[in-house]
Structure 1
Amino acid sequence: MVAAQIFNELDHHVWWLTWRWAVRQHPSKSKKWIKRRYFGKHNRFRDDHWVFGERVDDHARYLVKFSWTPIVRHQLVRPGASPDDSDLIEYWAKRRRKVTPPLDGYNLALLTKQDGCCPLCGEHLLTADQPPQSPNQWERWWLGVARRAIAADYLTHERHGTPDGKRTRMVHTSCYRSLRARNRRRLATFSPAEPSGLA
Protein backbone atom coordinates (compact mmCIF):
# COMPACT_ATOMS: atom_id res chain seq x y z
CA MET A 1 0.00 0.00 0.00
CA VAL A 2 1.39 3.41 -0.96
CA ALA A 3 2.01 6.14 1.63
CA ALA A 4 -0.55 8.55 0.14
CA GLN A 5 -3.37 6.02 0.55
CA ILE A 6 -2.37 5.30 4.17
CA PHE A 7 -2.22 9.03 4.95
CA ASN A 8 -5.71 9.55 3.47
CA GLU A 9 -7.12 6.69 5.54
CA LEU A 10 -5.54 8.11 8.71
CA ASP A 11 -6.99 11.56 7.92
CA HIS A 12 -10.44 10.04 7.43
CA HIS A 13 -10.16 8.21 10.78
CA VAL A 14 -9.09 11.39 12.61
CA TRP A 15 -11.90 13.33 10.92
CA TRP A 16 -14.43 10.74 12.11
CA LEU A 17 -13.11 10.93 15.69
CA THR A 18 -13.24 14.74 15.78
CA TRP A 19 -16.65 14.87 14.10
CA ARG A 20 -18.10 12.33 16.54
CA TRP A 21 -16.63 14.29 19.48
CA ALA A 22 -18.14 17.56 18.20
CA VAL A 23 -21.58 15.97 17.71
CA ARG A 24 -21.50 14.60 21.27
CA GLN A 25 -20.50 18.02 22.62
CA HIS A 26 -23.48 19.71 20.92
CA PRO A 27 -26.33 17.19 20.61
CA SER A 28 -28.94 19.88 19.97
CA LYS A 29 -27.02 21.66 17.20
CA SER A 30 -27.33 21.01 13.47
CA LYS A 31 -24.57 19.48 11.37
CA LYS A 32 -24.11 22.78 9.51
CA TRP A 33 -23.57 24.60 12.81
CA ILE A 34 -21.01 22.01 13.94
CA LYS A 35 -19.17 22.25 10.62
CA ARG A 36 -18.99 26.05 10.85
CA ARG A 37 -17.91 25.92 14.51
CA TYR A 38 -15.11 23.36 14.31
CA PHE A 39 -14.11 22.92 10.66
CA GLY A 40 -12.90 25.40 8.06
CA LYS A 41 -10.02 26.58 5.87
CA HIS A 42 -7.76 27.21 8.87
CA ASN A 43 -4.54 26.55 6.94
CA ARG A 44 -4.35 29.35 4.37
CA PHE A 45 -1.81 27.43 2.31
CA ARG A 46 -4.25 24.55 1.78
CA ASP A 47 -7.46 24.68 -0.24
CA ASP A 48 -9.20 22.47 2.33
CA HIS A 49 -12.37 23.55 4.14
CA TRP A 50 -12.51 20.48 6.43
CA VAL A 51 -9.59 21.28 8.72
CA PHE A 52 -10.40 20.83 12.43
CA GLY A 53 -9.43 23.88 14.47
CA GLU A 54 -10.37 27.37 15.59
CA ARG A 55 -9.38 31.00 15.07
CA VAL A 56 -8.08 33.00 18.03
CA ASP A 57 -7.09 36.67 17.61
CA ASP A 58 -6.73 36.35 13.83
CA HIS A 59 -4.52 33.27 14.24
CA ALA A 60 -5.62 29.73 13.45
CA ARG A 61 -4.91 26.69 15.60
CA TYR A 62 -5.66 23.43 13.84
CA LEU A 63 -4.83 19.75 13.44
CA VAL A 64 -2.23 19.02 10.80
CA LYS A 65 -3.31 16.35 8.33
CA PHE A 66 -1.20 13.30 7.53
CA SER A 67 -1.73 13.83 3.80
CA TRP A 68 0.11 17.15 4.02
CA THR A 69 3.35 15.26 4.60
CA PRO A 70 5.45 15.63 1.45
CA ILE A 71 6.29 12.26 -0.10
CA VAL A 72 9.83 12.40 -1.41
CA ARG A 73 10.91 9.60 -3.70
CA HIS A 74 14.66 9.70 -3.97
CA GLN A 75 16.19 9.24 -7.38
CA LEU A 76 19.34 7.15 -7.34
CA VAL A 77 22.52 8.81 -8.57
CA ARG A 78 24.13 7.19 -11.57
CA PRO A 79 27.08 5.01 -10.48
CA GLY A 80 30.34 6.91 -10.63
CA ALA A 81 28.63 10.30 -11.19
CA SER A 82 30.55 12.98 -9.33
CA PRO A 83 29.28 16.57 -8.91
CA ASP A 84 32.84 17.74 -9.59
CA ASP A 85 33.01 16.02 -13.00
CA SER A 86 32.81 18.76 -15.65
CA ASP A 87 31.58 16.23 -18.23
CA LEU A 88 28.40 15.62 -16.18
CA ILE A 89 27.15 19.23 -15.88
CA GLU A 90 24.07 18.47 -18.01
CA TYR A 91 23.30 15.33 -15.96
CA TRP A 92 23.26 17.27 -12.67
CA ALA A 93 21.31 20.15 -14.23
CA LYS A 94 18.64 17.70 -15.40
CA ARG A 95 18.38 16.24 -11.88
CA ARG A 96 17.98 19.71 -10.37
CA ARG A 97 15.15 20.58 -12.78
CA LYS A 98 13.15 17.61 -11.51
CA VAL A 99 13.12 18.89 -7.93
CA THR A 100 9.83 20.55 -7.02
CA PRO A 101 9.20 22.76 -3.98
CA PRO A 102 7.37 21.21 -0.99
CA LEU A 103 4.11 23.03 -1.78
CA ASP A 104 0.67 21.58 -2.42
CA GLY A 105 -0.79 21.75 -5.93
CA TYR A 106 -2.88 24.87 -5.22
CA ASN A 107 0.06 27.03 -4.09
CA LEU A 108 2.41 25.54 -6.67
CA ALA A 109 -0.09 26.57 -9.38
CA LEU A 110 -0.16 30.14 -8.01
CA LEU A 111 3.63 30.22 -7.88
CA THR A 112 3.88 29.00 -11.48
CA LYS A 113 1.22 31.43 -12.76
CA GLN A 114 3.15 34.35 -11.20
CA ASP A 115 6.53 33.15 -12.56
CA GLY A 116 7.69 32.79 -8.95
CA CYS A 117 7.47 36.56 -8.33
CA CYS A 118 5.51 38.72 -5.89
CA PRO A 119 3.13 40.94 -7.93
CA LEU A 120 3.41 43.74 -5.35
CA CYS A 121 7.20 44.22 -5.32
CA GLY A 122 8.34 42.20 -8.33
CA GLU A 123 10.93 40.23 -6.33
CA HIS A 124 11.15 36.43 -6.22
CA LEU A 125 8.79 34.86 -3.68
CA LEU A 126 11.35 32.25 -2.61
CA THR A 127 14.82 33.74 -2.31
CA ALA A 128 18.04 32.15 -1.16
CA ASP A 129 19.92 33.36 1.91
CA GLN A 130 22.96 31.60 0.53
CA PRO A 131 22.80 29.92 -2.90
CA PRO A 132 24.16 26.39 -3.20
CA GLN A 133 27.84 26.11 -3.97
CA SER A 134 27.65 22.76 -5.75
CA PRO A 135 25.05 20.55 -7.48
CA ASN A 136 25.23 18.23 -4.47
CA GLN A 137 23.74 20.94 -2.22
CA TRP A 138 21.01 22.11 -4.62
CA GLU A 139 18.15 19.76 -3.69
CA ARG A 140 18.63 20.28 0.06
CA TRP A 141 18.86 24.07 -0.39
CA TRP A 142 15.64 24.32 -2.45
CA LEU A 143 13.58 22.26 0.00
CA GLY A 144 14.98 24.24 2.93
CA VAL A 145 14.23 27.64 1.37
CA ALA A 146 10.60 26.77 0.62
CA ARG A 147 9.96 25.26 4.05
CA ARG A 148 11.53 28.22 5.87
CA ALA A 149 9.51 30.66 3.80
CA ILE A 150 6.24 28.98 4.75
CA ALA A 151 7.13 28.25 8.39
CA ALA A 152 8.27 31.85 9.04
CA ASP A 153 4.98 33.29 7.77
CA TYR A 154 6.94 34.69 4.82
CA LEU A 155 4.19 34.18 2.24
CA THR A 156 0.47 34.89 2.32
CA HIS A 157 -2.56 34.98 0.03
CA GLU A 158 -4.21 38.17 -1.16
CA ARG A 159 -7.60 38.59 -2.80
CA HIS A 160 -7.41 41.31 -5.45
CA GLY A 161 -9.96 42.65 -7.89
CA THR A 162 -9.73 41.91 -11.61
CA PRO A 163 -12.14 42.47 -14.53
CA ASP A 164 -13.16 38.82 -14.07
CA GLY A 165 -13.83 39.20 -10.36
CA LYS A 166 -11.82 38.39 -7.26
CA ARG A 167 -8.64 36.36 -7.74
CA THR A 168 -6.17 34.92 -5.25
CA ARG A 169 -2.46 35.53 -5.62
CA MET A 170 0.58 34.68 -3.52
CA VAL A 171 2.52 37.66 -2.12
CA HIS A 172 5.16 38.41 0.49
CA THR A 173 3.56 38.94 3.90
CA SER A 174 5.61 42.14 4.36
CA CYS A 175 4.39 43.51 1.00
CA TYR A 176 0.78 42.68 1.93
CA ARG A 177 1.10 44.50 5.26
CA SER A 178 2.60 47.55 3.52
CA LEU A 179 -0.23 47.57 0.98
CA ARG A 180 -2.87 47.44 3.74
CA ALA A 181 -1.13 50.26 5.64
CA ARG A 182 -1.05 52.43 2.49
CA ASN A 183 -4.75 51.75 1.85
CA ARG A 184 -5.62 52.71 5.44
CA ARG A 185 -3.68 55.97 5.14
CA ARG A 186 -5.36 56.74 1.81
CA LEU A 187 -8.81 56.16 3.31
CA ALA A 188 -7.95 58.32 6.32
CA THR A 189 -6.80 61.14 4.01
CA PHE A 190 -9.96 61.15 1.89
CA SER A 191 -12.49 60.49 4.66
CA PRO A 192 -14.50 63.59 5.71
CA ALA A 193 -13.49 65.15 8.98
CA GLU A 194 -15.85 64.46 11.86
CA PRO A 195 -17.66 67.44 13.39
CA SER A 196 -15.99 68.53 16.59
CA GLY A 197 -19.29 69.32 18.30
CA LEU A 198 -18.19 72.88 19.10
CA ALA A 199 -20.50 75.69 18.03
Structure 2
Amino acid sequence: MSGDVHVRFREHPRGQFPRVTRLIITGATREVLVDEVRPLVEQFLAARGLVLSSEKTRVTHIDDGFDFLGMNVRKYGGKLLIKPARASVQRFLRKLRVIVKGSATMRHDQLIRRLNPLLRGWANYYRHVVAKLTFNKGGHAIWQCLWRWARRRHPNKGAHWVHRKYFRTVGARHWIFGTTTGKTLSTGRPELLTLYDIAGTPIRRHRKIKAAANPFDVQWESYFEARLGFAMLDSIKGRVRLIRLWLDQRRSCPVCQQMITKSSGWRLYHVERTIDGGTDANRNLILLHPECHRTVRALGLSVVKPARSNGLGKA
Protein backbone atom coordinates (compact mmCIF):
# COMPACT_ATOMS: atom_id res chain seq x y z
CA MET A 1 0.00 0.00 0.00
CA SER A 2 1.09 3.56 -0.52
CA GLY A 3 -0.39 6.98 -0.05
CA ASP A 4 0.11 10.01 -2.28
CA VAL A 5 -0.12 12.79 0.28
CA HIS A 6 -0.34 16.52 -0.44
CA VAL A 7 0.79 18.85 2.34
CA ARG A 8 -0.57 22.39 2.21
CA PHE A 9 1.59 25.08 3.78
CA ARG A 10 0.10 28.03 5.56
CA GLU A 11 0.86 31.45 4.08
CA HIS A 12 4.32 32.67 5.13
CA PRO A 13 4.69 36.42 5.67
CA ARG A 14 7.64 36.70 3.30
CA GLY A 15 6.46 34.10 0.86
CA GLN A 16 9.69 32.11 0.71
CA PHE A 17 7.96 28.75 1.24
CA PRO A 18 5.71 27.02 -1.34
CA ARG A 19 2.06 26.56 -0.47
CA VAL A 20 1.86 22.93 -1.59
CA THR A 21 4.29 20.05 -1.50
CA ARG A 22 3.89 16.32 -2.08
CA LEU A 23 5.14 13.23 -0.33
CA ILE A 24 4.61 9.47 -0.37
CA ILE A 25 4.06 7.33 2.71
CA THR A 26 4.08 3.55 2.37
CA GLY A 27 2.48 0.99 4.63
CA ALA A 28 1.71 -2.72 4.81
CA THR A 29 -2.09 -2.33 4.78
CA ARG A 30 -4.73 0.33 4.18
CA GLU A 31 -5.78 0.11 7.83
CA VAL A 32 -2.28 0.94 9.05
CA LEU A 33 -2.08 4.00 6.79
CA VAL A 34 -5.56 5.31 7.55
CA ASP A 35 -5.91 4.47 11.27
CA GLU A 36 -2.34 4.81 12.51
CA VAL A 37 -0.04 6.65 10.12
CA ARG A 38 -2.33 9.45 8.98
CA PRO A 39 -3.23 10.67 12.51
CA LEU A 40 0.47 10.72 13.41
CA VAL A 41 1.32 12.70 10.28
CA GLU A 42 -1.49 15.19 10.91
CA GLN A 43 -0.31 15.63 14.50
CA PHE A 44 3.30 16.10 13.36
CA LEU A 45 2.32 18.70 10.76
CA ALA A 46 -0.11 20.56 13.01
CA ALA A 47 2.68 21.27 15.49
CA ARG A 48 4.52 23.02 12.64
CA GLY A 49 1.60 24.99 11.28
CA LEU A 50 0.90 22.64 8.37
CA VAL A 51 -2.17 20.69 7.29
CA LEU A 52 -2.92 17.83 4.94
CA SER A 53 -5.02 18.58 1.88
CA SER A 54 -8.03 16.33 2.47
CA GLU A 55 -9.24 16.54 -1.15
CA LYS A 56 -5.86 15.45 -2.53
CA THR A 57 -4.73 12.94 0.07
CA ARG A 58 -5.58 9.41 -1.02
CA VAL A 59 -4.62 5.83 -0.26
CA THR A 60 -4.07 3.43 -3.15
CA HIS A 61 -2.67 -0.06 -3.66
CA ILE A 62 0.69 -0.29 -5.39
CA ASP A 63 -0.79 -2.73 -7.94
CA ASP A 64 -3.14 0.09 -9.04
CA GLY A 65 -0.29 2.59 -9.08
CA PHE A 66 -0.23 6.34 -8.65
CA ASP A 67 1.32 9.41 -10.30
CA PHE A 68 4.00 11.35 -8.47
CA LEU A 69 6.11 14.22 -9.84
CA GLY A 70 5.32 13.27 -13.42
CA MET A 71 6.06 9.58 -12.82
CA ASN A 72 3.70 6.63 -12.66
CA VAL A 73 4.70 4.21 -9.91
CA ARG A 74 3.10 0.78 -10.18
CA LYS A 75 3.77 -2.92 -9.75
CA TYR A 76 3.27 -5.17 -12.77
CA GLY A 77 3.13 -8.85 -11.86
CA GLY A 78 4.97 -8.16 -8.64
CA LYS A 79 7.70 -6.05 -10.29
CA LEU A 80 7.85 -2.33 -9.51
CA LEU A 81 8.19 -0.16 -12.61
CA ILE A 82 8.42 3.63 -12.71
CA LYS A 83 7.30 5.14 -16.01
CA PRO A 84 6.51 8.64 -17.28
CA ALA A 85 2.96 9.48 -16.27
CA ARG A 86 0.59 9.49 -19.24
CA ALA A 87 -0.94 12.83 -18.24
CA SER A 88 2.51 14.44 -18.02
CA VAL A 89 3.52 13.09 -21.42
CA GLN A 90 0.33 14.36 -23.04
CA ARG A 91 0.76 17.76 -21.39
CA PHE A 92 4.29 18.03 -22.75
CA LEU A 93 3.24 17.04 -26.28
CA ARG A 94 0.39 19.58 -26.20
CA LYS A 95 2.89 22.26 -25.22
CA LEU A 96 5.13 21.37 -28.15
CA ARG A 97 2.19 21.36 -30.58
CA VAL A 98 1.17 24.83 -29.41
CA ILE A 99 4.72 26.10 -29.96
CA VAL A 100 4.99 24.55 -33.42
CA LYS A 101 1.54 25.71 -34.48
CA GLY A 102 2.34 29.23 -33.33
CA SER A 103 5.62 29.25 -35.27
CA ALA A 104 4.15 29.15 -38.76
CA THR A 105 6.40 31.95 -40.02
CA MET A 106 9.48 31.05 -37.99
CA ARG A 107 12.63 30.01 -39.80
CA HIS A 108 13.62 26.36 -39.88
CA ASP A 109 16.71 26.82 -37.70
CA GLN A 110 14.93 29.10 -35.23
CA LEU A 111 12.26 26.49 -34.57
CA ILE A 112 14.88 23.81 -33.95
CA ARG A 113 16.76 26.04 -31.49
CA ARG A 114 13.51 26.78 -29.68
CA LEU A 115 12.48 23.13 -29.38
CA ASN A 116 15.83 21.51 -28.58
CA PRO A 117 16.19 22.78 -24.98
CA LEU A 118 12.66 21.58 -24.18
CA LEU A 119 13.21 18.16 -25.74
CA ARG A 120 16.59 17.65 -24.13
CA GLY A 121 15.41 18.70 -20.68
CA TRP A 122 12.30 16.53 -20.84
CA ALA A 123 14.25 13.47 -22.02
CA ASN A 124 16.94 13.94 -19.36
CA TYR A 125 14.28 14.12 -16.63
CA TYR A 126 12.84 10.74 -17.60
CA ARG A 127 15.99 8.94 -18.75
CA HIS A 128 16.42 7.22 -15.38
CA VAL A 129 13.09 5.37 -15.51
CA VAL A 130 11.34 2.91 -17.83
CA ALA A 131 10.89 5.42 -20.63
CA LYS A 132 12.23 3.89 -23.86
CA LEU A 133 8.78 3.12 -25.28
CA THR A 134 7.54 6.57 -24.26
CA PHE A 135 10.53 8.19 -25.97
CA ASN A 136 9.85 6.28 -29.19
CA LYS A 137 6.16 7.19 -29.23
CA GLY A 138 6.89 10.79 -28.28
CA GLY A 139 9.50 11.08 -31.03
CA HIS A 140 7.00 9.85 -33.60
CA ALA A 141 4.32 12.28 -32.35
CA ILE A 142 6.78 15.17 -32.63
CA TRP A 143 7.76 14.10 -36.15
CA GLN A 144 4.08 14.08 -37.19
CA CYS A 145 3.65 17.58 -35.74
CA LEU A 146 6.67 18.92 -37.62
CA TRP A 147 5.62 17.22 -40.87
CA ARG A 148 2.25 18.97 -40.70
CA TRP A 149 4.05 22.25 -39.96
CA ALA A 150 6.24 21.84 -43.04
CA ARG A 151 3.33 20.85 -45.32
CA ARG A 152 1.24 23.83 -44.20
CA ARG A 153 4.09 26.19 -45.10
CA HIS A 154 4.14 24.91 -48.69
CA PRO A 155 0.61 23.79 -49.64
CA ASN A 156 1.47 23.84 -53.35
CA LYS A 157 4.56 21.66 -53.05
CA GLY A 158 4.71 17.88 -53.11
CA ALA A 159 5.78 15.60 -50.27
CA HIS A 160 9.14 14.82 -51.89
CA TRP A 161 10.00 18.52 -52.18
CA VAL A 162 9.05 19.16 -48.54
CA HIS A 163 11.10 16.17 -47.45
CA ARG A 164 14.22 17.38 -49.27
CA LYS A 165 13.88 20.89 -47.84
CA TYR A 166 13.22 20.13 -44.17
CA PHE A 167 14.58 16.66 -43.45
CA ARG A 168 18.06 15.16 -43.59
CA THR A 169 19.75 11.77 -43.41
CA VAL A 170 22.36 11.49 -40.67
CA GLY A 171 24.25 8.21 -40.72
CA ALA A 172 21.68 5.43 -40.60
CA ARG A 173 18.93 7.79 -39.41
CA HIS A 174 16.48 9.13 -41.97
CA TRP A 175 13.82 11.83 -41.82
CA ILE A 176 15.81 13.95 -39.38
CA PHE A 177 14.33 17.43 -39.00
CA GLY A 178 17.32 19.67 -39.65
CA THR A 179 19.04 22.27 -41.77
CA THR A 180 22.50 23.59 -42.53
CA THR A 181 23.82 26.49 -40.45
CA GLY A 182 25.93 28.06 -43.17
CA LYS A 183 29.14 27.05 -41.37
CA THR A 184 31.67 24.51 -42.59
CA LEU A 185 33.25 21.80 -40.45
CA SER A 186 36.97 20.98 -40.46
CA THR A 187 36.16 18.03 -42.74
CA GLY A 188 34.82 20.42 -45.34
CA ARG A 189 31.22 19.34 -44.87
CA PRO A 190 28.47 21.83 -44.00
CA GLU A 191 27.46 21.96 -40.36
CA LEU A 192 24.02 20.50 -39.67
CA LEU A 193 21.59 21.72 -37.04
CA THR A 194 19.18 18.90 -36.20
CA LEU A 195 16.28 18.40 -33.83
CA TYR A 196 17.19 16.65 -30.59
CA ASP A 197 16.36 12.96 -30.91
CA ILE A 198 14.50 11.94 -27.76
CA ALA A 199 14.11 8.38 -29.08
CA GLY A 200 17.90 8.11 -29.10
CA THR A 201 18.27 9.21 -25.47
CA PRO A 202 20.06 6.41 -23.59
CA ILE A 203 18.38 5.05 -20.48
CA ARG A 204 20.68 5.42 -17.48
CA ARG A 205 19.42 3.70 -14.36
CA HIS A 206 19.74 5.55 -11.06
CA ARG A 207 22.49 4.05 -8.92
CA LYS A 208 21.01 3.60 -5.49
CA ILE A 209 23.46 4.29 -2.70
CA LYS A 210 24.15 1.38 -0.37
CA ALA A 211 22.32 1.69 2.93
CA ALA A 212 25.44 1.03 4.99
CA ALA A 213 27.61 3.52 3.07
CA ASN A 214 29.16 6.17 5.31
CA PRO A 215 31.06 9.09 3.73
CA PHE A 216 32.91 9.62 7.04
CA ASP A 217 34.20 6.02 7.20
CA VAL A 218 37.55 5.40 5.50
CA GLN A 219 36.43 1.91 4.49
CA TRP A 220 33.83 3.43 2.12
CA GLU A 221 36.16 5.97 0.52
CA SER A 222 36.76 3.89 -2.62
CA TYR A 223 33.01 3.34 -2.99
CA PHE A 224 32.26 7.06 -2.99
CA GLU A 225 35.15 7.75 -5.37
CA ALA A 226 33.63 5.23 -7.79
CA ARG A 227 30.21 6.88 -7.47
CA LEU A 228 31.76 10.28 -8.21
CA GLY A 229 33.31 8.86 -11.36
CA PHE A 230 29.97 7.44 -12.54
CA ALA A 231 28.23 10.75 -11.81
CA MET A 232 30.81 12.69 -13.84
CA LEU A 233 30.36 10.33 -16.79
CA ASP A 234 26.62 11.06 -16.82
CA SER A 235 27.02 14.73 -17.78
CA ILE A 236 28.86 16.67 -20.47
CA LYS A 237 30.41 18.95 -17.86
CA GLY A 238 31.63 15.94 -15.88
CA ARG A 239 33.15 14.27 -18.95
CA VAL A 240 34.97 17.50 -19.81
CA ARG A 241 36.43 17.52 -16.29
CA LEU A 242 37.63 13.92 -16.67
CA ILE A 243 39.30 14.70 -20.00
CA ARG A 244 40.98 17.74 -18.43
CA LEU A 245 42.32 15.61 -15.57
CA TRP A 246 43.57 13.00 -18.04
CA LEU A 247 45.37 15.59 -20.15
CA ASP A 248 46.80 17.44 -17.15
CA GLN A 249 48.58 14.29 -15.96
CA ARG A 250 49.93 13.54 -19.45
CA ARG A 251 47.41 10.75 -20.06
CA SER A 252 49.32 8.45 -17.70
CA CYS A 253 48.88 6.97 -14.23
CA PRO A 254 51.13 8.70 -11.65
CA VAL A 255 51.68 5.38 -9.82
CA CYS A 256 52.86 3.04 -12.62
CA GLN A 257 53.64 5.74 -15.22
CA GLN A 258 51.74 3.73 -17.84
CA MET A 259 49.17 5.24 -20.20
CA ILE A 260 45.53 5.36 -19.11
CA THR A 261 43.41 4.15 -22.00
CA LYS A 262 39.83 3.06 -22.56
CA SER A 263 40.87 -0.59 -22.32
CA SER A 264 42.94 -0.10 -19.15
CA GLY A 265 40.15 1.73 -17.33
CA TRP A 266 40.51 4.34 -14.60
CA ARG A 267 39.42 5.28 -11.08
CA LEU A 268 39.25 8.64 -9.34
CA TYR A 269 41.53 9.23 -6.37
CA HIS A 270 41.38 12.05 -3.81
CA VAL A 271 44.80 13.50 -2.98
CA GLU A 272 43.42 14.74 0.33
CA ARG A 273 40.82 12.34 1.67
CA THR A 274 37.30 13.68 1.93
CA ILE A 275 37.12 12.54 5.57
CA ASP A 276 40.06 14.89 6.21
CA GLY A 277 38.39 17.83 4.48
CA GLY A 278 39.30 17.12 0.86
CA THR A 279 36.95 18.32 -1.86
CA ASP A 280 35.88 17.06 -5.30
CA ALA A 281 37.64 19.92 -7.07
CA ASN A 282 39.99 19.06 -9.93
CA ARG A 283 43.02 20.17 -7.90
CA ASN A 284 42.27 17.34 -5.44
CA LEU A 285 41.56 14.60 -7.99
CA ILE A 286 43.82 12.19 -9.89
CA LEU A 287 43.04 9.41 -12.36
CA LEU A 288 44.64 6.05 -11.54
CA HIS A 289 44.47 2.60 -13.05
CA PRO A 290 41.97 0.41 -11.16
CA GLU A 291 44.79 -1.92 -10.00
CA CYS A 292 46.93 1.01 -8.86
CA HIS A 293 43.95 2.52 -7.05
CA ARG A 294 43.31 -0.70 -5.13
CA THR A 295 47.00 -0.99 -4.20
CA VAL A 296 47.23 2.61 -3.00
CA ARG A 297 44.09 2.35 -0.88
CA ALA A 298 44.96 -1.08 0.53
CA LEU A 299 48.46 -0.04 1.61
CA GLY A 300 47.43 3.43 2.74
CA LEU A 301 49.87 5.11 0.38
CA SER A 302 49.69 8.71 -0.77
CA VAL A 303 49.97 9.97 -4.34
CA VAL A 304 51.26 13.38 -5.35
CA LYS A 305 49.28 15.16 -8.03
CA PRO A 306 51.47 15.53 -11.16
CA ALA A 307 52.48 18.94 -12.43
CA ARG A 308 49.89 20.26 -14.81
CA SER A 309 50.49 19.40 -18.46
CA ASN A 310 49.56 21.50 -21.49
CA GLY A 311 47.74 18.46 -22.91
CA LEU A 312 50.55 17.63 -25.38
CA GLY A 313 52.64 15.49 -23.09
CA LYS A 314 54.83 18.36 -21.79
CA ALA A 315 54.60 20.08 -18.45
Instruction: Tell me the TM-score range normalised by the shorter chain.
Output: 0.3 to 0.5
What TM-score, normalized by structure 1, do the two folds share? Answer: 0.41
- Greater fraction strand: 2
TM-score by length of 2: 0.28
